[in-house]
Structure 1
Amino acid sequence: MFYEDIQPQKLKDFLLDPTHDTLCELLLYNTGETDFLDFKAKWIDLTKLAKHILAIANSGGGSIIVGVGQQSDGSSSLDGLSSQDFLDKADVDNKLGNYLPSWVKYRTEDFIFDKQALAPFTDKKFQVLIIEYDPKYVPYTSIISRGELRYGAIYIRQGTKSIEASNEKLLEIILRKVNAGDAYSTDLTLIEHLTQLKYLYAERNRQADDDYERFIERVIERKQRRIEQVLDVYGMTDE
Structure 2
Amino acid sequence: MQRLSNQDFLNALDFETNKLDIVTLKRLLEEYYGEKNDIDFKKEIIEYQKISKIILAMANNGGGVVIFGITDDHKPVGAEKVDATDFNVGIRKYVPENLKYEDYYVDYKEDEMYGEFSGKTFLILYIPQQYRFAPFMAIKKSGEVIKDNVIYIRKNTSNGIASQTDINEIIEKRIYEEYNDLSELTLETHIEQLKTLYKYSPKSIGVTLGEKVGNQISQSITVDNKINEHHPQESFNAFIGDLIKRKKNKIKQYIEV
- What range describes the TM-score normalised by the shorter chain of this pair? 0.5 to 0.7
Matches of 2:168 and 2:54, distance apart in 1: 20
Matches of 2:12 and 2:133, distance apart in 1: 28
Aligned to 1:68: 70
Aligned to 1:126: 122
Deviates most, 54-63 or 26-35: 26-35
- Which residue type is aligned with residue 157 of structure 2? T
Deviation of 1:16 after TM superposition, in Å, equals 4.2
Matches of 2:165 and 2:148, distance apart in 1: 20
Give TM-score, length-normalised by structure 2. 0.58
Map residues 1-239 of structure 1 onto 2, 5 A cutoff. 16-25=2-11, 28-31=20-23, 35-70=37-72, 75-81=73-79, 85-116=80-111, 117-147=113-143, 148-183=145-180
Say if 1:178 and 1:67 are closer, same or farther in 2 by CA, change over 3 A: same
Matches of 1:184 and 1:124, distance apart in 2: 41
Q: How many residue pairs were aligned?
A: 168
Measured on the aligned residues, the alpha-carbon RMSD in Å equals: 2.7
Which of the two has higher C-alpha Rg? Answer: 2
- Which residue type is aligned with residue 54 of structure 2? H
Deviation of 1:109 after TM superposition, in Å, equals 0.5
Deviation of 1:54 after TM superposition, in Å, equals 0.3
Say if 1:123 and 1:158 are closer, same or farther in 2 by CA, change over 3 A: same
- Which residue type is aligned with residue 74 of structure 2? S
Aligned to 2:255: none
Deviation of 1:67 after TM superposition, in Å, equals 0.7
Give TM-score, length-normalised by structure 1. 0.62
- Which residue type is aligned with residue 98 of structure 2? W
CA contact (8 A) 1:137 1:184 kept: no
Matches of 1:56 and 1:26, distance apart in 2: 23
Deviation of 1:37 after TM superposition, in Å, equals 1.2
Q: Give 3-state SS (helix, strand or coil) of 2:60's partner.
A: helix
Structure with the bigger RCO (C-alpha within 8 Å, sep 6+) is 1
- Give identity over the alignment, percent: 26
CA contact (8 A) 2:107 2:122 kept: yes
Say if 1:23 and 1:90 are closer, same or farther in 2 by CA, change over 3 A: farther
Matches of 2:4 and 2:132, distance apart in 1: 24
CA contact (8 A) 1:68 1:78 kept: yes
Deviation string for 1:148-181 (max 9, x for gaps)? 1111211111111011111111111112223325
Which 5+ residue runs of structure 2 have no aligned equivalent?
14-19, 27-35, 183-238, 244-257
Which 5+ residue runs of structure 1 have no aligned equivalent?
1-14, 186-232
Matches of 2:62 and 2:82, distance apart in 1: 26
